[in-house]
Protein backbone atom coordinates (compact mmCIF):
# COMPACT_ATOMS: atom_id res chain seq x y z
CA UNK A 1 0.00 0.00 0.00
CA UNK A 2 1.36 3.36 -0.99
CA UNK A 3 0.47 6.26 1.26
CA UNK A 4 0.99 9.85 0.36
CA UNK A 5 1.35 11.90 3.57
CA UNK A 6 1.31 15.53 2.63
CA UNK A 7 2.48 18.48 4.65
CA UNK A 8 0.62 21.72 4.17
CA UNK A 9 2.82 24.24 2.46
CA UNK A 10 1.25 27.65 2.07
CA UNK A 11 2.85 29.83 -0.55
CA UNK A 12 1.59 33.36 0.10
CA UNK A 13 2.60 34.63 -3.30
CA UNK A 14 0.62 31.91 -5.10
CA UNK A 15 -2.44 32.14 -2.86
CA UNK A 16 -2.61 35.93 -3.16
CA UNK A 17 -2.88 35.64 -6.92
CA UNK A 18 -6.14 36.99 -8.30
CA UNK A 19 -6.56 33.85 -10.43
CA UNK A 20 -5.97 31.24 -7.69
CA UNK A 21 -8.01 31.36 -4.53
CA UNK A 22 -7.48 27.68 -3.63
CA UNK A 23 -5.15 24.84 -4.56
CA UNK A 24 -5.07 21.06 -4.23
CA UNK A 25 -1.86 19.16 -3.63
CA UNK A 26 -0.82 16.83 -5.11
CA UNK A 27 -2.37 17.78 -8.41
CA UNK A 28 -3.51 14.95 -10.75
CA UNK A 29 -1.65 12.06 -9.06
CA UNK A 30 -1.36 8.57 -10.59
CA UNK A 31 -1.53 5.58 -8.25
CA UNK A 32 -1.81 1.82 -8.40
CA UNK A 33 -5.04 0.11 -7.45
CA UNK A 34 -5.14 -0.52 -3.68
CA UNK A 35 -3.07 2.54 -2.80
CA UNK A 36 -4.04 5.18 -0.22
CA UNK A 37 -3.83 8.92 -0.78
CA UNK A 38 -4.02 12.06 1.35
CA UNK A 39 -4.85 15.26 -0.53
CA UNK A 40 -4.89 18.81 0.89
CA UNK A 41 -7.04 21.77 -0.15
CA UNK A 42 -5.45 25.11 0.78
CA UNK A 43 -7.51 28.31 0.55
CA UNK A 44 -6.42 31.93 0.33
CA UNK A 45 -7.00 34.23 3.28
CA UNK A 46 -8.59 36.63 0.79
CA UNK A 47 -11.66 34.36 0.67
CA UNK A 48 -12.38 34.99 4.31
CA UNK A 49 -13.57 31.44 4.91
CA UNK A 50 -12.41 28.89 7.46
CA UNK A 51 -11.20 25.48 6.25
CA UNK A 52 -13.61 23.74 8.63
CA UNK A 53 -16.48 24.79 6.36
CA UNK A 54 -15.02 23.03 3.32
CA UNK A 55 -16.03 19.59 2.05
CA UNK A 56 -14.86 17.10 -0.61
CA UNK A 57 -16.57 15.17 -3.43
CA UNK A 58 -15.30 12.30 -5.55
CA UNK A 59 -17.03 11.88 -8.92
CA UNK A 60 -19.89 14.04 -7.62
CA UNK A 61 -20.42 12.05 -4.40
CA UNK A 62 -19.76 13.80 -1.10
CA UNK A 63 -17.05 12.13 0.97
CA UNK A 64 -17.74 11.48 4.69
CA UNK A 65 -16.34 14.01 7.16
CA UNK A 66 -14.65 11.14 9.01
CA UNK A 67 -12.05 11.10 6.24
CA UNK A 68 -11.19 14.80 6.74
CA UNK A 69 -8.36 16.29 8.78
CA UNK A 70 -8.33 20.00 9.63
CA UNK A 71 -4.74 21.17 9.28
CA UNK A 72 -5.35 24.80 10.14
CA UNK A 73 -7.70 27.68 9.39
CA UNK A 74 -6.74 27.57 5.70
CA UNK A 75 -6.21 23.87 4.94
CA UNK A 76 -8.35 20.71 4.95
CA UNK A 77 -7.11 17.29 3.91
CA UNK A 78 -8.96 14.11 2.93
CA UNK A 79 -7.60 10.55 3.07
CA UNK A 80 -8.73 7.91 0.56
CA UNK A 81 -7.90 4.31 1.49
CA UNK A 82 -7.55 1.27 -0.80
CA UNK A 83 -8.49 3.02 -4.00
CA UNK A 84 -10.28 1.14 -6.76
CA UNK A 85 -9.52 1.58 -10.44
CA UNK A 86 -10.66 4.83 -12.02
CA UNK A 87 -14.19 4.75 -13.37
CA UNK A 88 -13.08 6.47 -16.56
CA UNK A 89 -9.73 6.55 -18.33
CA UNK A 90 -9.64 10.35 -18.16
CA UNK A 91 -9.42 10.08 -14.34
CA UNK A 92 -11.72 10.44 -11.34
CA UNK A 93 -12.77 13.95 -10.29
CA UNK A 94 -11.77 14.98 -6.75
CA UNK A 95 -13.17 18.43 -5.89
CA UNK A 96 -12.83 20.79 -2.94
CA UNK A 97 -16.00 22.82 -2.24
CA UNK A 98 -16.89 25.87 -0.18
CA UNK A 99 -19.65 25.72 2.41
CA UNK A 100 -22.28 26.78 -0.16
CA UNK A 101 -21.23 24.02 -2.55
CA UNK A 102 -19.30 26.18 -5.02
CA UNK A 103 -16.12 24.68 -6.47
CA UNK A 104 -12.86 26.00 -5.08
CA UNK A 105 -10.37 23.61 -6.70
CA UNK A 106 -10.23 20.22 -8.41
CA UNK A 107 -7.87 17.39 -9.24
CA UNK A 108 -7.95 14.24 -11.37
CA UNK A 109 -7.04 10.93 -9.78
CA UNK A 110 -5.57 8.30 -12.08
CA UNK A 111 -5.89 4.94 -10.33
CA UNK A 112 -4.98 1.86 -12.31
CA UNK A 113 -2.26 -0.56 -13.27
CA UNK A 114 0.83 -0.34 -15.47
CA UNK A 115 0.36 -2.07 -18.83
CA UNK A 116 1.25 -5.73 -19.27
CA UNK A 117 3.30 -6.91 -22.23
CA UNK A 118 1.13 -6.80 -25.40
CA UNK A 119 0.54 -10.27 -26.85
CA UNK A 120 -0.79 -12.05 -29.97
CA UNK A 121 0.71 -9.61 -32.43
CA UNK A 122 -0.31 -10.61 -35.97
CA UNK A 123 -0.12 -8.78 -39.29
CA UNK A 124 -1.47 -9.19 -42.81
CA UNK A 125 -1.08 -7.42 -46.14
CA UNK A 126 -3.88 -6.87 -48.64
CA UNK A 127 -2.51 -7.60 -52.10
CA UNK A 128 1.07 -6.76 -50.93
CA UNK A 129 0.22 -3.04 -50.97
CA UNK A 130 -0.18 -2.33 -47.24
CA UNK A 131 0.10 -3.87 -43.79
CA UNK A 132 -2.40 -4.09 -40.93
CA UNK A 133 -1.36 -5.34 -37.49
CA UNK A 134 -3.44 -6.28 -34.48
CA UNK A 135 -2.57 -7.27 -30.92
CA UNK A 136 -4.09 -7.90 -27.48
CA UNK A 137 -3.24 -5.81 -24.40
CA UNK A 138 -1.99 -8.73 -22.32
CA UNK A 139 -2.49 -9.55 -18.65
CA UNK A 140 -5.94 -8.62 -17.36
CA UNK A 141 -6.28 -6.24 -20.30
CA UNK A 142 -7.84 -3.41 -18.31
CA UNK A 143 -5.45 -0.79 -16.88
CA UNK A 144 -8.27 1.62 -15.84
CA UNK A 145 -6.30 4.64 -17.03
CA UNK A 146 -5.43 5.84 -20.50
CA UNK A 147 -2.75 3.61 -22.02
CA UNK A 148 -0.94 4.45 -25.22
CA UNK A 149 0.07 1.75 -27.70
CA UNK A 150 2.63 2.40 -30.43
CA UNK A 151 3.34 -0.08 -33.23
CA UNK A 152 6.94 0.14 -34.39
CA UNK A 153 8.68 -1.56 -37.30
CA UNK A 154 11.93 -1.61 -39.23
CA UNK A 155 13.72 -3.65 -41.84
CA UNK A 156 15.51 -6.50 -40.13
CA UNK A 157 19.07 -5.87 -41.25
CA UNK A 158 19.04 -2.17 -42.02
CA UNK A 159 16.81 0.85 -42.02
CA UNK A 160 15.62 3.12 -39.26
CA UNK A 161 12.90 2.46 -36.71
CA UNK A 162 9.51 3.78 -37.78
CA UNK A 163 6.15 4.25 -36.08
CA UNK A 164 2.76 3.31 -37.44
CA UNK A 165 0.55 6.41 -37.54
CA UNK A 166 -2.94 5.27 -38.57
CA UNK A 167 -4.78 3.79 -35.58
CA UNK A 168 -8.23 4.69 -36.93
CA UNK A 169 -8.97 1.25 -38.33
CA UNK A 170 -12.28 0.78 -36.53
CA UNK A 171 -10.72 -2.05 -34.50
CA UNK A 172 -9.14 -1.63 -31.04
CA UNK A 173 -5.48 -2.48 -30.66
CA UNK A 174 -4.65 -2.29 -34.36
CA UNK A 175 -2.76 -0.04 -36.74
CA UNK A 176 -2.59 0.39 -40.52
CA UNK A 177 0.51 1.08 -42.64
CA UNK A 178 -0.78 2.16 -46.07
CA UNK A 179 2.36 2.39 -48.22
CA UNK A 180 6.14 2.35 -48.63
CA UNK A 181 6.65 -1.31 -47.75
CA UNK A 182 9.52 -3.39 -49.12
CA UNK A 183 9.07 -6.88 -50.59
CA UNK A 184 11.51 -9.80 -50.34
CA UNK A 185 12.96 -8.31 -47.13
CA UNK A 186 11.85 -9.27 -43.61
CA UNK A 187 10.53 -6.72 -41.14
CA UNK A 188 10.82 -6.64 -37.37
CA UNK A 189 7.59 -5.46 -35.74
CA UNK A 190 6.66 -4.87 -32.10
CA UNK A 191 4.27 -2.90 -29.87
CA UNK A 192 5.15 -0.55 -27.00
CA UNK A 193 2.57 0.20 -24.29
CA UNK A 194 2.85 3.00 -21.72
CA UNK A 195 0.81 4.95 -19.21
CA UNK A 196 1.46 7.08 -16.12
CA UNK A 197 2.34 4.00 -14.07
CA UNK A 198 4.77 2.20 -16.37
CA UNK A 199 5.53 0.69 -19.77
CA UNK A 200 5.91 -2.69 -21.49
CA UNK A 201 7.10 -4.02 -24.85
CA UNK A 202 5.75 -6.98 -26.80
CA UNK A 203 7.86 -9.73 -28.30
CA UNK A 204 9.32 -8.83 -31.67
CA UNK A 205 7.90 -10.71 -34.65
CA UNK A 206 9.73 -11.11 -37.94
CA UNK A 207 7.83 -11.42 -41.20
CA UNK A 208 8.08 -10.98 -44.94
CA UNK A 209 5.18 -9.13 -46.55
CA UNK A 210 4.85 -11.93 -49.14
CA UNK A 211 4.22 -14.46 -46.36
CA UNK A 212 1.17 -12.67 -44.92
CA UNK A 213 -0.78 -11.74 -48.03
CA UNK A 214 -4.54 -11.81 -48.16
CA UNK A 215 -6.71 -10.51 -50.96
CA UNK A 216 -10.17 -9.38 -51.95
CA UNK A 217 -12.98 -11.92 -52.12
CA UNK A 218 -13.40 -13.66 -55.51
CA UNK A 219 -15.35 -11.57 -58.00
CA UNK A 220 -18.27 -12.39 -60.30
CA UNK A 221 -19.65 -15.30 -58.27
CA UNK A 222 -22.42 -16.98 -60.25
CA UNK A 223 -24.62 -19.84 -59.07
CA UNK A 224 -26.82 -21.68 -61.54
CA UNK A 225 -28.76 -24.89 -62.00
CA UNK A 226 -27.25 -27.96 -63.61
CA UNK A 227 -29.88 -28.61 -66.25
CA UNK A 228 -32.86 -30.39 -64.69
CA UNK A 229 -30.82 -32.03 -61.92
CA UNK A 230 -32.82 -31.34 -58.81
CA UNK A 231 -30.03 -31.88 -56.24
CA UNK A 232 -27.16 -29.88 -57.76
CA UNK A 233 -26.00 -26.31 -58.35
CA UNK A 234 -23.01 -25.04 -60.32
CA UNK A 235 -20.80 -22.29 -58.80
CA UNK A 236 -18.37 -20.21 -60.89
CA UNK A 237 -16.21 -17.22 -60.00
CA UNK A 238 -13.23 -15.14 -61.12
CA UNK A 239 -9.80 -14.89 -59.51
CA UNK A 240 -9.20 -11.73 -57.44
CA UNK A 241 -8.35 -9.02 -59.99
CA UNK A 242 -5.81 -7.33 -57.70
CA UNK A 243 -3.52 -10.38 -57.96
CA UNK A 244 -3.78 -10.97 -61.69
CA UNK A 245 -0.16 -9.89 -62.27
CA UNK A 246 1.29 -11.98 -59.42
CA UNK A 247 2.73 -15.46 -59.64
CA UNK A 248 0.78 -17.49 -57.10
CA UNK A 249 -1.32 -20.60 -56.60
CA UNK A 250 -4.75 -19.76 -55.22
CA UNK A 251 -6.89 -21.96 -53.02
CA UNK A 252 -10.62 -21.51 -52.70
CA UNK A 253 -13.33 -22.45 -50.25
CA UNK A 254 -17.08 -22.46 -50.74
CA UNK A 255 -19.76 -22.33 -48.12
CA UNK A 256 -23.52 -22.56 -48.60
CA UNK A 257 -26.70 -22.62 -46.53
CA UNK A 258 -30.42 -22.98 -46.86
CA UNK A 259 -32.40 -19.77 -47.18
CA UNK A 260 -34.13 -20.32 -43.83
CA UNK A 261 -30.97 -21.43 -41.97
CA UNK A 262 -27.90 -19.66 -40.61
CA UNK A 263 -25.79 -22.84 -40.51
CA UNK A 264 -23.16 -22.83 -43.24
CA UNK A 265 -21.67 -25.97 -44.76
CA UNK A 266 -18.07 -25.51 -45.96
CA UNK A 267 -16.51 -27.22 -49.00
CA UNK A 268 -12.75 -27.36 -48.35
CA UNK A 269 -11.46 -29.41 -51.28
CA UNK A 270 -12.09 -26.93 -54.10
CA UNK A 271 -8.38 -26.50 -54.85
CA UNK A 272 -7.32 -23.83 -57.34
CA UNK A 273 -10.17 -24.25 -59.81
CA UNK A 274 -12.65 -21.41 -60.30
CA UNK A 275 -15.75 -23.57 -60.49
CA UNK A 276 -17.39 -26.23 -58.39
CA UNK A 277 -20.55 -28.29 -58.36
CA UNK A 278 -22.58 -28.66 -55.18
CA UNK A 279 -24.39 -31.98 -54.95
CA UNK A 280 -26.75 -33.65 -52.53
CA UNK A 281 -28.96 -30.58 -52.24
CA UNK A 282 -32.69 -30.41 -51.58
CA UNK A 283 -34.98 -30.12 -54.58
CA UNK A 284 -36.93 -26.88 -55.00
CA UNK A 285 -34.87 -25.03 -52.38
CA UNK A 286 -33.14 -21.64 -52.33
CA UNK A 287 -29.46 -21.69 -51.34
CA UNK A 288 -27.06 -18.88 -50.50
CA UNK A 289 -23.45 -19.40 -51.63
CA UNK A 290 -20.18 -17.59 -50.79
CA UNK A 291 -16.58 -18.06 -51.95
CA UNK A 292 -13.25 -16.95 -50.48
CA UNK A 293 -9.63 -17.09 -51.64
CA UNK A 294 -6.26 -17.92 -50.10
CA UNK A 295 -3.35 -16.61 -52.23
CA UNK A 296 -0.75 -19.31 -51.57
CA UNK A 297 2.87 -19.06 -52.64
CA UNK A 298 3.06 -15.49 -53.96
CA UNK A 299 6.41 -15.15 -55.76
CA UNK A 300 7.49 -18.50 -54.32
CA UNK A 301 6.63 -17.88 -50.67
CA UNK A 302 6.47 -21.16 -48.73
CA UNK A 303 4.08 -19.88 -46.08
CA UNK A 304 0.36 -20.57 -46.09
CA UNK A 305 -1.56 -17.52 -47.18
CA UNK A 306 -4.37 -15.81 -45.28
CA UNK A 307 -7.99 -16.35 -46.26
CA UNK A 308 -9.84 -13.40 -47.71
CA UNK A 309 -13.24 -12.30 -46.52
CA UNK A 310 -16.20 -14.21 -47.94
CA UNK A 311 -17.80 -12.87 -51.10
CA UNK A 312 -21.26 -11.35 -50.94
CA UNK A 313 -23.94 -14.09 -50.80
CA UNK A 314 -25.31 -15.24 -54.15
CA UNK A 315 -28.68 -17.00 -54.22
CA UNK A 316 -30.03 -19.70 -56.52
CA UNK A 317 -32.66 -22.43 -56.29
CA UNK A 318 -32.60 -26.08 -57.24
CA UNK A 319 -35.32 -27.37 -59.62
CA UNK A 320 -38.50 -28.82 -58.14
CA UNK A 321 -38.68 -32.59 -58.01
CA UNK A 322 -41.08 -34.07 -60.57
CA UNK A 323 -42.02 -36.71 -57.99
CA UNK A 324 -42.92 -34.04 -55.45
CA UNK A 325 -44.97 -32.14 -58.00
CA UNK A 326 -46.93 -35.29 -58.85
CA UNK A 327 -48.20 -35.49 -55.30
CA UNK A 328 -46.88 -39.00 -54.74
CA UNK A 329 -46.38 -40.18 -51.17
CA UNK A 330 -42.95 -40.71 -49.63
CA UNK A 331 -42.11 -44.42 -50.15
CA UNK A 332 -41.53 -46.67 -47.17
CA UNK A 333 -38.08 -48.07 -46.35
CA UNK A 334 -38.61 -51.37 -48.21
CA UNK A 335 -40.02 -49.51 -51.18
CA UNK A 336 -36.95 -47.18 -51.19
CA UNK A 337 -34.58 -50.16 -51.34
CA UNK A 338 -36.62 -51.73 -54.13
CA UNK A 339 -36.62 -48.42 -56.03
CA UNK A 340 -32.85 -48.03 -55.54
CA UNK A 341 -32.14 -51.54 -56.89
CA UNK A 342 -34.42 -50.91 -59.85
CA UNK A 343 -32.80 -47.56 -60.67
CA UNK A 344 -29.28 -49.00 -60.35
CA UNK A 345 -30.27 -51.81 -62.72
CA UNK A 346 -31.63 -49.19 -65.13
CA UNK A 347 -28.44 -47.15 -64.78
CA UNK A 348 -26.07 -49.99 -65.63
CA UNK A 349 -28.31 -51.03 -68.51
CA UNK A 350 -28.28 -47.46 -69.77
CA UNK A 351 -24.48 -47.29 -69.43
CA UNK A 352 -24.00 -50.44 -71.55
CA UNK A 353 -26.14 -48.81 -74.19
CA UNK A 354 -24.60 -45.33 -74.15
CA UNK A 355 -21.01 -45.64 -72.82
CA UNK A 356 -19.67 -47.05 -76.10
CA UNK A 357 -17.03 -49.23 -74.49
CA UNK A 358 -15.65 -46.64 -71.97
CA UNK A 359 -14.03 -48.34 -69.00
CA UNK A 360 -14.79 -45.51 -66.57
CA UNK A 361 -17.85 -43.39 -66.08
CA UNK A 362 -17.44 -39.62 -65.85
CA UNK A 363 -19.70 -37.34 -63.85
CA UNK A 364 -20.97 -35.99 -67.17
CA UNK A 365 -22.15 -39.49 -68.10
CA UNK A 366 -23.81 -39.85 -64.70
CA UNK A 367 -25.55 -36.50 -65.17
CA UNK A 368 -26.85 -37.58 -68.56
CA UNK A 369 -28.38 -40.67 -66.95
CA UNK A 370 -29.93 -38.56 -64.17
CA UNK A 371 -31.59 -36.33 -66.77
CA UNK A 372 -32.83 -39.38 -68.67
CA UNK A 373 -34.16 -40.90 -65.43
CA UNK A 374 -36.01 -37.72 -64.46
CA UNK A 375 -37.56 -37.47 -67.91
CA UNK A 376 -38.65 -41.12 -67.63
CA UNK A 377 -40.33 -40.38 -64.27
CA UNK A 378 -42.02 -37.32 -65.77
CA UNK A 379 -43.31 -39.29 -68.77
CA UNK A 380 -44.56 -42.11 -66.53
CA UNK A 381 -46.37 -39.62 -64.25
CA UNK A 382 -48.02 -38.00 -67.28
CA UNK A 383 -49.23 -41.42 -68.49
CA UNK A 384 -50.59 -42.30 -65.03
CA UNK A 385 -52.38 -38.97 -64.75
CA UNK A 386 -53.84 -39.55 -68.26
CA UNK A 387 -55.13 -42.96 -67.25
CA UNK A 388 -56.78 -41.52 -64.10
CA UNK A 389 -58.56 -38.85 -66.12
pLDDT digits (tens, 9 = 90+) for 59-71: 999 999 999 999 9
**pTM, whole model, 2 decimals?**
0.69
pLDDT band at 268 (very low <50, low <70, confident <90, very high): confident
Mean pLDDT of the chain: 82
The reported pLDDT for the residue numbered 142 is 83
Q: Which of 21, 26, 32 is nearest to 9 (CA)?
A: 26
What is the pLDDT averaged over residues 327-349?
50
Phi and psi, residue 339, nearest 5°: -65, -40
Q: Are 10 and 42 in contact (CB under 8 A)?
A: yes
Rounded average pLDDT over 378-386: 53
Pairing between strand 213-214 and 119-126? parallel
> Is residue 374's pLDDT more than 80?
no
CA 259 to chain centre: 25
96 C-beta neighbours (distance < 10 Å), count: 24
Cβ-Cβ contacts under 8 Å for 77 (sequence gap 6 or more): 6, 8, 38, 39, 40, 41, 68, 69, 71
Q: For the residues 81-87, what does the mean pLDDT come to? A: 92
Separation between Cα atoms, residue 187 and residue 191, nearest integer Å: 13
CA dist., res. 111 & res. 125, Å (int): 38
Q: Give the integer Cα–Cα distance in Å for 235 and 73.
A: 86
Band (pLDDT 50/70/90 cuts) for residue 364 is low
Q: Which of 10-24, 25-39, 116-130, 143-157 has the lowest mean pLDDT?
A: 10-24
d(C-alpha 339, C-alpha 345), whole Å: 10
Taking the C-alpha atoms of residue 254 and residue 186, their distance in angstroms, rounded to an integer, is 33
CA-nearest of 173, 168, 167, 121 to 142 is: 173
The CA dihedral of 240, 241, 245, 251, to the nearest 10 degrees, is 10
Residue 349: its pLDDT value, please? 57
10-33, pLDDT tens digit by residue?
333 333 344 578 999 999 999 999
Contact call for residues 173 and 150 (beta carbons, < 8 A): no
* Per-residue confidence band for 359, with pLDDT thresholds at 50, 70 and 90: very low
Cis amide prior to 26 (ω within 30 degrees): yes
Amino acid sequence: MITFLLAVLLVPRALSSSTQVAAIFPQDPALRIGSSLTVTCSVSAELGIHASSLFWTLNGKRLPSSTYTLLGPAALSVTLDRLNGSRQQSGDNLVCHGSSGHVLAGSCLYVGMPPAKPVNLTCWSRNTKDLTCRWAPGGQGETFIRTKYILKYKLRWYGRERECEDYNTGQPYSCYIPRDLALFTPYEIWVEASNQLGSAVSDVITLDILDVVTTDPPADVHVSRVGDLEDQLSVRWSSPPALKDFLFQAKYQIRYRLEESMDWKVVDDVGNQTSCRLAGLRAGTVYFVQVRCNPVGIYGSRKAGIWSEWSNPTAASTPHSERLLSGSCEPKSGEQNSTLRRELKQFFGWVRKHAYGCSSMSIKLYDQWRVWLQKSHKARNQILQGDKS
